[in-house]
Structure 1
């Protein structure tokens, strides 16, 4: 009897561990145009929970309804061996975008990726700073996998035997078109968990799907005005006297400066960190921070989260740390409230509470040689894998929360993010330094729901320095990172005047950048994004002649399009086409509609590829017909809270123009209580003369707009 009992028990265990079941997914519309499906038993800890994201219902309601974009029966799911298998259909003419912050590729159909938080090492394989499990289809929909696991994605590479559009078997001996990678009509996704939440986001356009994702994730971030100014990160062992001297040099030479970043040397010890000021370099932190603020220059502090044995919180937090260290520093389990209270309380003490304006959160991405291994354990019970996928998210969330409690906005830097992190006021950076790939990452950031800066560090030549600086000005954070090199904007005297001119342009454009970030926050529109999200830029215009294509390299002939990864949209009206070191000319693809030179207003073209030779002083930037760019005077610092500034409204082309100019106090979270407005700007030509108007300020709302003038460009 005992033998039979043990045998039956063993068979039951064997059956349960190898359980296989398929399920028809029930799709529930949770927000307008967003449907959630639940497969198996989702884990209690996922990306949206880690980020604390709350959907922006008003923004999603304003977008209106959408149709479920796929055939429900074409989406299949299966749970087996403790893993979840998902299958989504692909049509023959469909291209895919997204799947994380990629640096070399924009189109993702035909790729195999393991979405894994890591430092980027030169290959688009899914291991990146923000491996956001969200893809967008050229058919105008998106798919988001809400899992804090390493997700494997076969983006149109796996061929199912039950395919509705199977590839034709070919004879390699005789068929020159034979390919080792046959056509696939699906996206297959493996989630190493016994269930998962999946979201399908409707369109009808790709931009609509991206907007819905950002709004589901809490809306895009809204930085303070000063965050959109200029920042300089100083050498790592700089002293208080060095920093004050550097700020004075910026002012004396007439270069704008809004915040300075202090690198590891501000701490008494780093790698691992004490989170205490070094008394020899910064003997009076409060006085130092106050002196900088009097100069209208804020401070941003570098740190990583790994706790030195000599940190004042080391013993207090010891019971809330993981089993493995990083650089012999303890890793706080910040999913536990008590750990958060200690850790983020230390970041506040003598830092945030004396006026420090933000942080650069380093080393929360990878790599495997020094970060905690996947065999690590944490007292919360969350796996090392889940912690790896979400640590950057949580650091952003809780640092932002510290500032929110003080009603002060922040803007900082971080090395890792993930799905659900769109609302956090942090910009991703890394140690990779390829200028072209930086621009591709900027393009992909709009698909990944993150911000990316093509920071400037150093250069071999004055030309390279200027080219990097020019594209950096048209990005989320205009920054020189001189932590090692000590470079300054004027390091190359032969181009110092052009650098100063570009820095001044950044300040002049602040009303435009600030309004575009407001649209990111309230409407989910990425301020920097791919050309494929722009009206009039259709893939059909870029299809290559498949007769000239080697199908061994391109097995998807019907979806081969030119991959545009060196130009992008910046805000509502601007097309930016960076120049790279050694280039004297380049081609620019203009979408349909009339486009005009940003600097002169001269007509540039309509739905065509143009060749340009801009010279060294500028990079090609174009404005669509009817474009409105609000500008302010070039100042050395961003406007203070509620400070009024005069505006020059620049108008391009001939079509009637319309623009929403955002206004609030510029520094606090009072906008969350309704203290904001969009002022409507209208411009048109009447008998060849410009006629412009701006709506009156809203009673009871902030009004930072002074005198307004209108200027016709061209």
Structure 2
């Protein structure tokens, strides 16, 4: 009997052990409308959402459509073994995947093997990028987010299990020409180097709805100040106070708009590593200089990196709260610790923010491996080097933004790294990589990553390239020339100076539209710049079928959509932007189903077809969907101040009756969080061959910055 009992216990022990090696189902809890959280193992306390500190925007989520769990729950499995968590998500044959961070060369992510790792982008979409957000969405209308501050390995439909529910067909390479070295896989698999993790699943019903839910879970997208959507010029790195004043004066005299100027490393007494103190030889009176620029309606933004020079005033006090390794001989503050944050961000406030500096450019918080702290580094908080690498950019954004928030003063800055949870931060990503085409692909992908990206303009070989870069930059989150090395100006190429001015003025004219679209980003989670695959009527995004034969004579549109569409994108509710690159005189544009019209002339362009356009050098191709309403204001050199009223011209395209939600607030503070804002509905239609337009009145006690409203039919009545 004892022998049998021992045998029974051994069998139980064996099955208990082997059960731990098999896939486990996950219990799911609906934490917000259409958002479910699952937990496997023991998740780490230090994760992306906690570091980012965002709170779900409940009001926005409550307005989302009700939805059921979008995947077969029993097919989402995982197990914890050897201190690692293995995850698997089902994948249908015709699904396409998007996301997995800020990618620069590819939009379709199915079939990719990635390691999601914060890094400076080095020319390959392998997961090492400025924002390796562990979030993906499917063309089937759902999303998945892995809440881990770890380097996550992703097999996005590449690995085939022997017990696969839908195994690939076995083929003979010798005789079968359809044999592929990449057989069909029915799963997305991930490896998280931790003993547990939180998983979030987002319902649709559309892919855009899944993206919206992700952004709203993180507090909604950022709402920049109006001046942040104007034009910015970053100065040559050793410019002094007189040079900045002269630059601002030249912009005004030549009639180019300018809202904020960026000061590069030379504002500090030393950089690489940094002292965070003004260089008094170049800026002898910082407060007087900053205030003088503000009187001229010019805001100032300061470059910095976080690596503390031995010559910095805070060096000794922050030394006990720094990591084991240096970067450029500067110590790395452990800003995950309150003690380090108080010293470090206090220094960024003292003598900078408190004298009127409007924002920061946070450089070098991404990579690369040959100069950043290594993964063997240690930090006094106990968080390891990997966790710090994945979250340093998030923390730099969060804690500077909190300073401004406490002052009830909005900011808009630049950063080199972000990650999951950072959607609400008022920062735009940039880098040192400078391929124009890849810049546009990054802009397309930014909407899947919960970040903003600017295809900044730095230098060009020809006037043509300069203008082409400038045109696409105007249709992006931050219209910016970065002259830190070249010293270039908007007028540096005289042969295209007037065209550049026209584009810069257009940016200012369109501010009511841009501002309203960013408000929708905040309140509704809709990315202001996003991929065509998130637009209704755009057919495409299914996984490529190698065996499919396409009759191009019958349907040339079908050929276009089987390839990645990564060089055109949606800008706001109504605009489709299709940049032209240096050397091009024409290009193809894929129009979604529905009538589309030329932005500049209002002429009909097409309906659900591929068109070939030759816009000339002066224009970037832009199209407006039928019923498109674009609110415009007069050309101004600076964004309107709080309470400044402007005339509004409502431009209307096509013939379909339409509405538009125009957003208004003071443009500078966070009072909108307390309800001090308004959405006014613009309604436009054609009645008996005449244009009829109305706008709802401003509510009593709410912002009203509109002096007058006029309506203009861009398409012939």
Fold shared per TM-score above 0.5 = yes
User: Which runs of no fewer than 5 residues in structure 1 stay unpaired?
Assistant: 1-11, 550-556
Number of the residue aligned with 1:234: 235
* Number of aligned residue pairs: 694
Number of the residue aligned with 1:412: 413
Measure how far apart 1:20 and its partner are.
Answer: 3.6
Residue pair 1:92, 1:558 contacting (<8 A) in 2 also? no
Deviations 1:627-652 (A, max 9, x none): 00000001000001121111000000
Residue pair 1:56, 1:218 contacting (<8 A) in 2 also? yes
**Partners of 2:249 and 2:366 in 1: CA distance:** 35
**Partners of 1:705 and 1:399 in 2: CA distance:** 32
Measure how far apart 1:83 and its partner are.
Answer: 0.3
Deviations 1:375-413 (A, max 9, x none): 011111001000000000010000000101111000000
- The verdict on how the C-alpha distance between 1:16 and 1:294 changes in structure 2, with shifts beyond 3 A counting, is farther
- The verdict on how the C-alpha distance between 1:147 and 1:191 changes in structure 2, with shifts beyond 3 A counting, is same
Number of the residue aligned with 1:197: 198
Measure how far apart 1:16 and its partner are.
Answer: 9.6
Deviations 1:551-608 (A, max 9, x none): xxxxxx9998221000000000000000000100000000000000001101100000
Number of the residue aligned with 2:5: none
Residue pair 1:455, 1:481 contacting (<8 A) in 2 also? yes
Number of the residue aligned with 2:451: 450
Residue pair 2:135, 2:146 contacting (<8 A) in 1 also? yes
Any idea what SS the aligned residue of 2:102 has? coil
Residue pair 2:101, 2:448 contacting (<8 A) in 1 also? yes
Any idea what SS the aligned residue of 1:222 has? coil
Any idea what SS the aligned residue of 1:306 has? coil
**Partners of 2:277 and 2:424 in 1: CA distance:** 29
TM-score norm. by structure 2 comes to 0.95
Q: How does 1:581-620 map to 2 (within 5 A)?
A: 581-620=582-621
Q: 1:65 and 2:73 equivalent?
A: no
Any idea what SS the aligned residue of 2:323 has? coil
Number of the residue aligned with 1:125: 126
**Partners of 2:241 and 2:33 in 1: CA distance:** 52
**Partners of 2:225 and 2:707 in 1: CA distance:** 19
Deviations 1:16-66 (A, max 9, x none): 999646422011000000000000000000000010011111100101321
Q: 1:423 and 2:424 equivalent?
A: yes
Residue pair 1:361, 1:413 contacting (<8 A) in 2 also? yes
**Partners of 2:262 and 2:512 in 1: CA distance:** 24
**Partners of 1:546 and 1:701 in 2: CA distance:** 59
Deviations 1:333-352 (A, max 9, x none): 11111111100000000100
**Partners of 2:22 and 2:419 in 1: CA distance:** 30
TM-score norm. by structure 1 comes to 0.95
Number of the residue aligned with 2:648: 647
Ranges of 4+ aligned residues in structure 1 off by more than 6 Å: 15-19, 540-545, 557-560
Number of the residue aligned with 1:137: 138
**Partners of 1:541 and 1:469 in 2: CA distance:** 33
Number of the residue aligned with 1:352: 353
Residue pair 2:539, 2:561 contacting (<8 A) in 1 also? no
Any idea what SS the aligned residue of 2:368 has? coil
Q: 1:151 and 2:147 equivalent?
A: no
Q: 1:208 and 2:209 equivalent?
A: yes
Q: 1:636 and 2:637 equivalent?
A: yes
Residue pair 1:17, 1:82 contacting (<8 A) in 2 also? no
Number of the residue aligned with 1:675: 676
Number of the residue aligned with 1:42: 43
**Partners of 2:572 and 2:84 in 1: CA distance:** 41
**Partners of 1:462 and 1:558 in 2: CA distance:** 34
Number of the residue aligned with 2:28: 27
Residue pair 2:265, 2:303 contacting (<8 A) in 1 also? yes
**Partners of 2:560 and 2:21 in 1: CA distance:** 35
Q: How does 1:262-301 map to 2 (within 5 A)?
A: 262-301=263-302
Any idea what SS the aligned residue of 1:393 has? helix
Any idea what SS the aligned residue of 1:316 has? helix
User: Which runs of no fewer than 5 residues in structure 2 stay unpaired?
Assistant: 1-12, 551-557
**Partners of 2:460 and 2:322 in 1: CA distance:** 41
**Partners of 1:363 and 1:21 in 2: CA distance:** 42
**Partners of 1:174 and 1:573 in 2: CA distance:** 51
- The verdict on how the C-alpha distance between 1:548 and 1:113 changes in structure 2, with shifts beyond 3 A counting, is same
